[in-house]
Amino acid sequence: MLFFAFLFVVSRFLSYICRNNLIIFMEEQLPLQDLTEPTAPAATYDDENIVTLTGVEHIRLRPGMYIGRLGDGTHAEDGIYVLLKEVVDNSIDEFKMQAGRRIEVDIEDGLSVTVRDYGRGIPQGKLIEAVSVLNTGGKYDSKAFQKSIGLNGVGTKAVNALSRRFEVRSYRDGRVRTAVFEQGKLVEDQTSELSPESGKPVTPEETGTLVRFEPDNTLFTGYKFHPEFVENMLRNYTYLNTGLEIYYNGRRIVSRNGLKDLLIDTMDTTPLYDIVHLKGDDIEIAFTHTNQQYGEEYHSFVNGQHTIQGGTHQSAFKEHIARTIKEFFNKNYEYGDIRSGIVAAIAINIQEPQFESQTKIKLGSLTMEPGGGVSVNKFVGDFVKLEVDNYLHRHPEVADIIQQKIQDNERDRKAIAGVTKLARERAKKANLHNRKLRDCRIHLNDAKGDRKEDSSIFITEGDSASGSITKSRDVNTQAVFSLRGKPLNSFGLTKKVVYENEEFNLLQAALNIEDGIEGLRYNKVIVATDADVDGMHIRLLMITFFLQFFPELIRQGHVHILQTPLFRVRQRKKRIRKETMPKLAEKYPAQAAAKGDFVTLYCYTEEERQEAIRLLQPEPEITRFKGLGEISPDEFKNFIGEDMRLEQVSIKKTDKVKELLEYYMGKNTVDRQNFIINNLVIEEDKAETEETPDAETTEKA
């Protein structure tokens, strides 16, 4: 206490000296009148500076407020999937209101989307307003859409505004009204009438709504819908809406057992007992334990919306499932021992749910209905307490397996208790000054903030690489953690190594994941290594570490690999041909850092290098980057900014993770030795100028 008091006094004294010295310095250097006189004329500020935007204009100007990030479709959270979700959500609402059990989703060439449902159809008299005017919709009447997702009247309007072309059709009473928009502006409006010959409706189509849209490629540059992300989204809809049929490009997706099917389809480890599946009014849960030694895995949903970051309902489930099991056995088990190895899913329906952002990935509602009523915690807790307790009494064989799993977890925890205590003490001291960590200002677990999801941490090899990233990063949202050489191969080891190994312990403390990933400080954990053999090995070692001890980090899509350029191709001697400049601007809009006609291109593949050489003829200069430390901070900022290339690390059920880790990271097996011998390739290092005689090659040591 005396030491900290001393530090406080010293800091106050230094602050006082600095302030007074600053004042004295300013008084000596500048006359008083100079401080009050403006150094430049003030910018004009009058009536013309006050601008009123239409709803569509505001969406296009600030798309992040409505759909989160833009992106190009390479990540599941990219904006084009939010657009698709907003359209499908409306069709799901029709199913929930028992109007239409079939939805058709067709994506052509990964660019154009068509969604057709067979619900009631949008009322044709308000069709234009329903898809183009903000805060317009039928869901403000809670009687019509009591458990809907989109209650703010924004979703479809955002899709309209952010699409190059948007078409909507409403089929009702044998008539069809069609409206076509371009970038949110109405360009066509047609309504069919009765046939003059027969007096019957013109269209034989079934009642419902069709939406066809093509995202604006000036906003979503180079976008493409990836089938695996779309299919995963649509499967989640069927798990939560038993009996719903979704046809994706003609292929039928359906679920008969709800959340039980979800766990069966997603688990990559063997369950210790049959999945417990329980349903009630406005709630459904499913859970089991696996032989996974560490970690917890949760899937949570609200009104059909996948809440990737959880929220009040998931927190309530975690609390009450542990409490119920503890009370059932009447033992003083720790909650962490009860939940370790659990895989669970929960879905609830809430009237007018409140989310923490427009992207709706974390529930913020405290009560089951607006204006009060039963709390979410009590609603979930009462159901879990009653139904899970009853299930365990009816199935004593399941209860025995759960108890054995808890005891195994307890034994493992106590075995490393001494090491854990020392490691936590070291981590507390390190938190005051973690020499491995260069932190940022904004974190994912901050109570408030609009940029929490932008927070990221780069895990780099060595001080040279971390130096370039540190100098070029965004200090608000990008942190850097430096490794010292290659980390330990953690495959087959117990969690004791996380506490014994200094780097692993400091990394765990920096991420704040010792007790689970709910407190994770960074949305993206980015492994940034050199693009050589050693760099690839470090990537594997880090991925092994996360898979072994924190698999939920990968399952929830937080772990990424940073892609950095292999080559720099630039023309510094001669000006680029005039006919080549438009091609450069079109093909490399972000990379072409030009001064006059002198251009620098950064290439991530050999194919890109060859194309850059062709465009920058004659005699471009070529540099092969051998390590991240060779890239200057001025250049590195281009690779970790808006156009940063990331490859998400993901796990699928078919990946057989345990077998893969055993093969590649386990003991030096005969099979692996034979694989290396049979696939060994010897490459001759030839001068690049032989391949491209017009290119000048620069090598860096």
Query: Helix, strand, or coil here: 229?
Result: helix
End-to-end CA separation in angstroms for the chain: 51
Which pair of structure tokens corresponds to residue 48?
A: 């013309």
State how beta strands 245-248 and 251-253 pair.
antiparallel
Q: What band does 346 get if pLDDT is binned at 50, 70 and 90?
A: very high
Which residue do the tokens 């013309």 mark? Answer: 48
- Which strands form 251-253's sheet, in the order they lie side by side? 185-191, 175-182, 163-172, 208-215, 112-117, 102-108, 245-248, 251-253
Query: Helix, strand, or coil here: 142?
Result: coil
Which residue do the tokens 């936590």 mark? Answer: 424
> Which residues, in sequence order, are CB contacts of 21 under 8 Å at separation 6+?
none
The most confident of 153-162, 271-280, 362-371, 684-693, by mean pLDDT: 271-280
| CA dist., res. 495 & res. 293, Å (int) | 9
Q: What band does 293 get if pLDDT is binned at 50, 70 and 90?
A: low
Query: Helix, strand, or coil here: 568?
Result: strand
The listed CATH number (3.40.50.620, 3.40.50.2300, 3.55.30.10, 3.30.230.10) that belongs to domain 266-415: 3.30.230.10
Q: Read off the pTM.
A: 0.72
* pLDDT computed for residue 593 by the predictor: 45
Percent of the chain with pLDDT over 90: 33
* pLDDT computed for residue 33 by the predictor: 44
State how beta strands 478-483 and 456-461 pair.
parallel
| Mean pLDDT, residues 132-145 | 63
* pLDDT computed for residue 574 by the predictor: 59
516-572: pLDDT as tens digits: 788 899 999 999 988 778 888 899 999 999 988 888 888 888 999 998 888 888 877
* pLDDT computed for residue 22 by the predictor: 36
- How would CATH label the architecture of 417-564+648-666? 3-Layer(aba) Sandwich (3.40)
Please report, for residues 117, 213, 214, 249, the alpha-carbon distance to residue 169 in angstroms, rounded to integers and kept in the order given.
11, 12, 15, 20
189-198, 323-332, 334-343, 394-403: least confident range: 189-198
Residues facing 480 on adjacent strands: 438, 458
**Average pLDDT value for the chain:** 80
8-62: pLDDT as tens digits: 433 443 344 344 443 333 333 434 444 444 555 666 777 777 777 777 788 888 8
For residues 312 and 358, is the Cβ–Cβ distance under 8 A? no
* pLDDT computed for residue 26 by the predictor: 35
Q: What is the DSSP letter of 453?
A: G
The structural domains of the chain, with segments of one domain joined by +, span 11-36, 59-253, 266-415, 417-564+648-666
| Mean pLDDT, residues 639-665 | 80
The most confident of 155-159, 183-187, 695-699, by mean pLDDT: 183-187
| CA dist., res. 555 & res. 521, Å (int) | 17
| CA dist., res. 203 & res. 404, Å (int) | 64
> Which residues, in sequence order, are CB contacts of 225 under 8 Å at separation 6+?
73, 80, 81, 84, 107, 110, 111, 113
Q: Would you tell me how many other CB atoms lie within 10 Å of the CB of residue 582?
A: 9
Beta strands in 263-361 (DSSP E): 276-280, 283-289, 297-302, 305-306, 342-348
Query: Helix, strand, or coil here: 273?
Result: coil
* pLDDT computed for residue 199 by the predictor: 54
* pLDDT computed for residue 484 by the predictor: 83
| CA dist., res. 328 & res. 6, Å (int) | 52
Q: What band does 380 get if pLDDT is binned at 50, 70 and 90?
A: very high
For residues 511 and 521, is the Cβ–Cβ distance under 8 A? yes
* pLDDT computed for residue 654 by the predictor: 66
* pLDDT computed for residue 696 by the predictor: 47
Please report, for residues 564, 631, 641, the alpha-carbon distance to residue 637 in angstroms, rounded to integers and kept in the order given.
11, 10, 6
Q: What is the homologous superfamily of the domain 59-253 according to CATH?
A: Histidine kinase-like ATPase, C-terminal domain (3.30.565.10)
200-233: pLDDT as tens digits: 555 667 899 999 999 999 899 889 999 999 999 9
Which pair of structure tokens corresponds to residue 164?
A: 């190059």
149 has a pLDDT exceeding 60: no
The reply to whether 59-253 and 417-564+648-666 are identical in fold is no
Please report, for residues 46, 245, 646, the alpha-carbon distance to residue 58 in angstroms, rounded to integers and kept in the order given.
22, 36, 29
55-102: pLDDT as tens digits: 778 888 888 778 877 888 888 888 899 899 999 988 988 888 888 899
| CA dist., res. 458 & res. 474, Å (int) | 12
Cα 340 to its chain centre, rounded Å, is 24
| Mean pLDDT, residues 569-590 | 62
> Which residues, in sequence order, are CB contacts of 37 under 8 Å at separation 6+?
none
Q: What band does 494 get if pLDDT is binned at 50, 70 and 90?
A: confident
